[in-house]
Amino acid sequence: MILCCGEALIDMIPEPTLSGTEGYVPRTGGAIFNTAIGLGRLGCRTGLLSGISTDMFGHQLMADLRASNVDTTNVIRSNRPTTLAFVKLSDGHASYSFFDENSAGRMIAPSELPTDIGETTALYFGGISLACEPGAETYRQFAEAHARDCVVVLDPNIRPSFIEDEVRFRDSMQRMLSLADIVKVSDEDLNWIIQTADSLEEKVAHLQRLGPSIVILTRGSAGARAWLPSGQSVSVASQKVDVVDTVAAGDTFNAGVLAGLSEAGLLNKAVLSSVSEDALTKAIGFGTRVAAINVSRAGANPPWRDEL
């Protein structure tokens, strides 16, 4: 099973009301939640480790997880509020205003974490849950406890506006990178993590020296590129579609890549160290196909397997 570890929240999506003014409609979301939903819909055994409220929005999150075949055994319930993210769309691109103080997701503690994670073979981390303390430290401790036995996948998804103490955050991210077997970054993520004038190839090599065997770089409409442990790289073009919006594009891409790797039997530390160019290309290509369907419709709406 792939266990997705991180935030589950409500995206407040702007929509016109009957009177013509703009209102907000609550939709389930969050980077880690979206990837878990995507994996569940693709038929992968997947679960979510997250703090979810017992309020009305928490019930909505739990219902959507179950409807998409996501295991909720490791969800930590509390009466704290649900994180809300108010979304602003501009030419199909989303920006967010978060309300996360004292939330059910942010306030999970190490004492609440499961010690037995059963048949879990891979752990997926990322999103704002790695930037917002004290929950971020809880997730880091969980990664450290299980990195020996599970493949660790990391999408830093750097949001500078969430970083209150840059020195502390960089140290924390270094810890996560040292545990990771696979890291997916955007251009912006890579340039924030490694702030030098080095070439792209040099920055990726630097990133691999920090820990991950495989680095995947996404470039929106320019497609994706991935580097193997040997330093060789493969490239995959993006799928050409009419884009409605980019909400959860990266999250859905991650679900597709993880599903592709899982189905090929590659989510294993020993196997990843010698993964072939062809196998990695197929997994990345599957991720672009899945993401293309998501961006062709409104909001975070990963495709089901039969839609492919």
What type of residue sits at position 69?
N
pLDDT tens readout for residues 142-155: 999 999 999 999 99
Lowest mean pLDDT among 26-40, 84-98, 112-126, 189-203: 84-98
Q: What percent of the chain shows pLDDT beyond 90?
A: 79
Average pLDDT over residues 157-180: 92
Q: Are 98 and 84 in contact (CB under 8 A)?
A: yes
Residue 234: CB atoms within 10 A of its CB come to 20
Average pLDDT over residues 80-108: 87
User: What pLDDT score was predicted for residue 17?
Assistant: 86
SS3 assignment, position 159: coil
User: What pLDDT score was predicted for residue 20?
Assistant: 80
Give 271-277 contacts, CB < 8 A, sequence gap 24+.
Answer: 272/151, 272/181, 272/182, 272/213, 272/214, 272/229, 273/213, 273/229, 274/229, 275/213, 275/214, 275/228, 275/229, 277/228, 277/232, 277/234
User: What pLDDT score was predicted for residue 92?
Assistant: 60
Q: Which domains, ranges and CATH numbers included, belong to the chain?
A: 2-307 (3.40.1190.20)
pLDDT tens readout for residues 240-295: 898 888 778 899 999 999 999 999 999 999 899 889 999 999 999 999 999 999 99
Q: Are strands 2-5 and 122-126 parallel, antiparallel or unpaired?
A: parallel
SS3 assignment, position 287: helix
User: What pLDDT score was predicted for residue 140?
Assistant: 97
pTM for the full predicted model: 0.94
User: What pLDDT score was predicted for residue 245?
Assistant: 80
Supply the mean pLDDT for the chain. Answer: 93
